[in-house]
A = this chain, B = another copy of it.
């Protein structure tokens, strides 16, 4: 790469970073808004989440095209290629996070008019706070290329999974106690699963930061704590 190409390459990278930062800001906002909409049963806010998700999808395609054009034009070296592969991966995870927030928002519409056992909101609230802070931290870590902070996010995902598992059991119990809770709790189960998966994508971004900084894939298995797919809560237990 000559000086001129190197300068253009740096500009390309900068513009990629700006697009990712924009996607990151949007996705943080969508996650927070979708959960506020869920907790406050705010249909108008839910609708705005659904509309804004399209902007994230469009940005992801822009990142993809910009990344590919940058590689084709500047022929970067291995270390610089990593920057671009990382941008592709992060934008992918952010796009999925936007989708998950959109799914939560869609459920808010479904819940309109249904009775809500007030106790339930507590578990969702606590879990969401953690996920939102994980997402914020990992996006900060990405913008600072800070692998150590990213690893902290990576390690904390187990806590979210533990809250999800206990919330899952709690919701099943409510359903068993009173069948009138079934409709509401089913939607809440899907919302909780979506929030848990947003946490997984924050963890993926942490892995991408590790790869970007250290040039190698994380050797450890990710701390995997969502045990609900293994959960068998019988009727008797639920009483």
Contacts and interface: CB of A to CB of B under 8 A. Distances in A.
Q: How many copies does the complex hold?
A: 2
A238 interface: yes
A156 interface: no
Interface string A95-127: 000000001001101111110000000000000
A75 B68 CA distance: 10
A50 to B, nearest CB: 10
A180 B193 CA distance: 22
Interface stretch (A13-21, A29-37, A140-148, A184-192): A184-192
B235 A183 contact: yes
A2 interface: no
A219 interface: no
A229 B190 contact: yes
A200 to B, nearest CB: 10
Interface string A62-75: 00110011011101
A151 interface: no
A235 B81 contact: no
Contacts of A172: 182-183, 186
B109 A229 contact: yes
Contacts of A175: 175, 179, 182, 186
Interface of A: 61, 64-65, 68-69, 71-73, 75-76, 81, 84-85, 88-89, 92, 103, 106-107, 109-114, 172, 175-176, 179-180, 182-183, 186-187, 189-190, 193, 217, 228-235, 238
